[in-house]
Amino acid sequence: MNLEKRLTSAAQELNQSAQRTSPPLLRTASELIRPWLAFAAALAVVLAVFGIPYALTNAGQGNPPNSSPLAGAESTTTTECLAPETTTPPEEPGVGEEPSGTTADCIDPDTTIATIEPTTTPGQGCQAAEFYPPTTAGYSDDGSDPRDLTGPVAEKVTEIAEAAAGCNANSLAALASDDITTTFGPGSGPEDLASWQPDDERFAILAELLNMNREVTEMPDGSRLYVWPAAFAYDTWEEIPTAAMDELLRLYTPEELNQISLLGSYGGWRIGITETGEWIFFVAGD
């Protein structure tokens, strides 16, 4: 029996075997909540009878709890909120480091771009102005960390960061690869970048992303690809280190991150630059 037939037959048998298991009753939320509603109703009656008089007599003696899920949220609380079932994976060295210093900190010594020399200033309505002059997050540049930027990548990052922070759409378009993916719908490409108006929020998102930590991952041909944010490099949501997860709160609310987590891995805003310095995607994801 050749391989194709063997695999097809094995799949057929597996499917037939699975067909014999009938789908169990999947208890929906309303079904699960019904007994709890009855319990809550009973509890409410008890509280109405005994609790209210007690509460009235003790009114004003305590401080109201902070009810906002966002206000004052500590990172540990946030992590619990985002992924209650997650077992925290071991921290990867460097991933949790706070972005610090200037771009010069993370640029390969060989590169000709050592510092960012602002050449433009943000235009009117530019929401990314707060990122000007730009800095980019990085890792110690002793050559031991694969996430250290190589010359062409460092150069491209610097240029993109400056164009984004200055809300300069034409500069961004010129920096992009000809077949850059900017959206999975129609209209993807450098022309899309060139069409952004100065008040487009994507400038700020792009600048913010480049201020976050990156990771190095692999292209299908085995070459290296630098991605921002670091969370995008992980196969599953559970693998994302806490620090990389916390960083995402610069782009999303905890509720939005909960939605993204349903995909099983990070699929939100991201940038990818190849090891040769080709900027190949900047997309919103879903």
Partner 1 sequence: MRVISVNTSIQDKRRLAIAAAKPANASSFDAFYRQEYAGMVAVASALIGDRGRAEDLAQESFISAHRHWDRIAGYDHPRLWVRRVLINRATSLRRRLGSELKAVVKVKAEPGAGVVDDLSPPTSEVWDEVRKLPRRQQQTVVLHYVSGLSMEEIGETLDCSPGTVKAHLHRARQQLKTTLSDWEEDQT
What does each C-alpha distance from 215 to 97, 100, 131, 226, 256 come to in angstroms?
13, 16, 21, 6, 22
What does each C-alpha distance from 107 to 81, 113, 137, 139 come to in angstroms?
36, 8, 10, 9
**Side chain identity at 53, as an amino acid letter?**
P
Question: Taking the complex as a whole, how short is the minimal distance between the CB of residue 20 and partner 1, in angstroms?
Answer: 7
Residue 130 or 235 with smaller CB distance to partner 1? 235
Question: Taking the complex as a whole, how short is the minimal distance between the CB of residue 56 and partner 1, in angstroms?
Answer: 39
**DSSP, res 62:** S
Residue 182 or 211 with smaller CB distance to partner 1? 182
Residue 132 or 196 with smaller CB distance to partner 1? 196
Residue 101 or 264 with smaller CB distance to partner 1? 264
Residues 6+ apart with CB under 8 A from 125: 167, 197, 198, 199
Q: Which two tokens stand for residue 229?
A: 């944010």
Across the chain, the runs of DSSP E, i.e. the strands, are: 176-181, 215-218, 224-228, 270-274, 279-283
120 neighbors 166 (Cβ within 8 angstroms): yes
Question: Taking the complex as a whole, how short is the minimal distance between the CB of residue 141 and partner 1, in angstroms?
Answer: 21
3-class SS at 79? helix
In the complex, which residues of this chain contact partner 1 (CB under 8 A)?
1, 3, 6-11, 13-15, 17-21, 23-24, 26, 28-29, 87, 179, 181, 183-185, 215, 217-220, 225, 227, 232-239, 262-265, 267, 272, 280-281, 283-286
Distance of alpha carbon 228 from alpha carbon 179, whole angstroms: 19
Question: Taking the complex as a whole, how short is the minimal distance between the CB of residue 24 and partner 1, in angstroms?
Answer: 7
Residue 8 or 119 with smaller CB distance to partner 1? 8
Question: Taking the complex as a whole, how short is the minimal distance between the CB of residue 223 and partner 1, in angstroms?
Answer: 10
Residue 14 or 55 with smaller CB distance to partner 1? 14
3-class SS at 137? coil
Question: Taking the complex as a whole, how short is the minimal distance between the CB of residue 272 and partner 1, in angstroms?
Answer: 6
